[in-house]
A and B are shown apart, each in its own frame.
Chain A
Amino acid sequence: MKHVWSAVAWLVGLLFFFPVLWMVLTGFKHESDAASNPPHWLFSPTLDGYRQVFDRDIMPYLLNSLMASVFSTVLVLALATPAAYALSLRPVAKWRDALFFFISTKMLPAVAALLPIYLVVKELGMLDNIWTMVILYTAMNLPLAVWMMRSFLLEVPRSVVEAAEMDGAAPATAIRRVLLPIVSPGLAATALICFIFSWNEFFFAVNLTATRAGTGPIFLVGFISSEGLFLARLCAAATLLSLPVVLAGWVAQKQLVRGLSMGAVK
């Protein structure tokens, strides 16, 4: 009986993974193998798909994604860490209201803010500008980061904080010397989650960027119509764009749950 359930677990795992495997395999096929019916399981691998993706200039899109994700993540951490501190270790009077304010902004549907944001950004001449995306992704991830960092800060033993303050160290020094080293794994986990969400974001990107500031997902828009579709090329692009987040997620599996639940589940 035990073995049966283990086998079932493996089977289901492989089943869920299969579309990803299929995507990766198809990316290495010739177009004729990719579009065959029934599917070709054995094929001579080629890098044609990847070559064409790079020929069609995926690099600027990748760089834009990298810029938007990295800069917004840095900005989020810079804003969220002090805020989380003021909501946990040395809390302001209405820390609970502030905490709920942050999470309520996460529940606000993006689509309701699209039009005013679009108009303001257009008025400022910031359409198709990567810094616009940096600002928006920062706002998008801020509540998540505040909640997550707060949960990490609350884990710092009280005695450590008190000892640092007893030493007469100014709060700023105490924070830098004592707190930051302890919560650095938390910072890394928070950064990872923010990076994932920014890297994958599509809604604002498709509406506010075009050729100059287009991010990774925008490169894929061209593949939506099935007329004259090149499946191998599509799969190569999809694999390439998914790779950073898949690898990051694999490496940081333990932190993933905590980040996705905003620090509620450890």
Chain B
Amino acid sequence: MSTVTVGRDVRKRTSRPFAPARVGARQRWVRRGPLLPALVFAIVVTQVPFLFTLYLSTLGWNALRPGERHFVGLDNYGTVLTDSRLRAALVNTVILTASAVLVSLLLGLALAVLLDRRFPGRGVVRTLLITPFLVMPMAAALLWKHAIYNPTYGLINGLLGGRTDWVSEYPKVAVVATLVWQWTPFMMLILLAGLQSQSPETLEAARVDGASAWQTFLHVTLPFLRQYLELGALLGSIYLVNTFDAVFTITQGGPGTATTNLPYEIYLTTFRKFEYGEAAAAGVIVVIGTIVVATFALRVISSLFRMEEAR
């Protein structure tokens, strides 16, 4: 696998993007030309709906009562913010996302270390390991729900005996385990790329200095991997915070609201309760929350950028 540090070979071969030259107005538009279609498309499809959401969030509108659509100001926000279901969903989202990201990051790190050595069949093992990530998430969720967790013919009870109903007794664990199974390979791939971009000289130097393998890992490798760990956590969170398939399939948010996360709760508000105004307000709150988190996340990405340019 040819792997280099985040952005390192960009620097080596071409340095940073070519500096924008001072050019006339006409030239500027020539430069902007290729960018515009993508930019306009992204704005129309992703930003305009959000403005529409803002507008909808100020309406008292239940689709089951047609004709009763009126301006209610910020009432929906009040309803949503004091709604215990939504608060439970927020807490669940944080728990599910954080535990899935953390566990898959740790397992991914262990696997990356295992695979960062030559051994017979390494390529095959890597291929086996990435497969769970490639399985369709909907198929993976069904597979775990029925073939693995099912109390009567599921694999766990089949092998271990007992009649435990895994999904209803440990709903959060059941969902997180499925997500971890799918996302560990992702983390492993990113961290393995990091490990393989570490310079052998540094490791050799640590060895010569008498550091044990464990000390080397702790004081040399781990700090070096930091940006890869951050990148993995960031990307994993972006994807996992939107988890819908697994919740929809394995638990339907239950039992009670034990595994209802924000995407699933807003889906329920929209298409089961038809409270359009409230769903929109909840959506706006989620976006604001995301912006707060994303500002932090973007700082991480920016720091990667600066490292790219510093060298």
Contact of A90 among B18, B145, B294 (CB under 8 A): B18
Residues 173-185 of B, flagged 1 when their CB comes within 8 A of A and 0 if not, give 0000000010011
- Residues from chain B with a CB closer than 8 A to the CB of A19 are 132, 140, 143-144, 147-148, 181
Report Cα–Cα, A9/B231, bound state, in Å: 24
Contact of A82 among B38, B245, B267 (CB under 8 A): B38
B206 at the interface (CB under 8 A from A): no
Select from chain B the residue with minimum beta-carbon distance to A175: B34
B17 at the interface (CB under 8 A from A): yes
Known A-B contacts A5-B119, A199-B136; A265 and B6 likewise in contact (beta carbons under 8 Å) = yes
- Residues from chain A with a CB closer than 8 A to the CB of B231 are 261, 264-265
Select from chain A the residue with minimum beta-carbon distance to B148: A19
A187 at the interface (CB under 8 A from B): no
Known A-B contacts A108-B46, A111-B263, A112-B283; A37 and B56 likewise in contact (beta carbons under 8 Å) = no
A231 at the interface (CB under 8 A from B): yes
- Residues from chain B with a CB closer than 8 A to the CB of A102 are 38, 42
Consensus secondary structure, chain A interface: helix
Interface residues of A, count at CB 8 A: 111
A22-B148, A257-B1 given; name 9 further pairs at CB < 8 Å.
A9-B119, A20-B131, A39-B155, A86-B31, A112-B290, A200-B138, A207-B267, A234-B146, A254-B2
- Give the top 9 A-B pairs by smallest Cβ distance, nearest first: A82-B34, A238-B139, A83-B38, A112-B283, A116-B52, A6-B119, A86-B35, A13-B125, A139-B45
Residues of A within 8 A of B (CB): 2, 5-6, 8-10, 12-14, 16-17, 19-20, 22-23, 26, 34-39, 79-80, 82-83, 85-93, 95-96, 98, 100-120, 135-136, 138-139, 142-143, 146, 151, 154-158, 171, 196, 199-200, 202-203, 206-207, 216-217, 220-221, 223-224, 226, 229, 231, 234-235, 237-239, 241-242, 245-246, 248-250, 253-254, 256-257, 260-262, 264-266
Residues of B within 8 A of A (CB): 1-4, 6-7, 9-10, 13-15, 17-18, 20, 28, 30-35, 37-39, 41-42, 45-47, 49-50, 52-53, 56, 111, 114-115, 117, 119-122, 124-140, 142-148, 150, 152-153, 155, 157-159, 181, 184-186, 189-190, 192-194, 228, 231, 235, 238, 241-242, 244-245, 248-249, 262-263, 266-267, 270-271, 276, 279-280, 283-284, 286-287, 290, 294, 297-298, 301, 304-305
